[in-house]
Amino acid sequence: MDVQMPVLDGLEATRRIRRIETEEHRETRTPIIGLTANALKGDRETCMHAGMDDYIAKPMRNDELLAALARVLPQAVL
């Protein structure tokens, strides 16, 4: 999820997704990895507080993406 999207940023989009999951009593949680080009101190915490499962600063390396996917996706998917 791009943190800095126009109109609806990734933080608010994530909050809305989490709210829907709660309101609809969904059994599974949508995995969300935050991506941002402006990696500032505190960004990771802000993303996690919004409900994201992980965070990667751009430009990202393939190994960073694979590691984040391994952390948030069930093993059966990988």
Q: Tell me the per-residue pLDDT of 18-73, one tens digit each, with 9 for 90 and over.
A: 999 999 999 999 999 999 887 778 888 999 999 999 999 989 999 999 999 999 99
What is the pLDDT at residue 77? Answer: 67
What is the pLDDT at residue 78? Answer: 60
Boundaries of domain holding 35: 10-72
Nearest to 78 by CA among 66, 63, 60: 66
The answer to whether residue 78 sits within a structural domain is no
What is the pLDDT at residue 40? Answer: 78
CATH number at residue 24: 3.40.50.2300
The answer to whether residue 2 sits within a structural domain is no
Domain count, the chain: 1
The answer to whether residue 77 sits within a structural domain is no
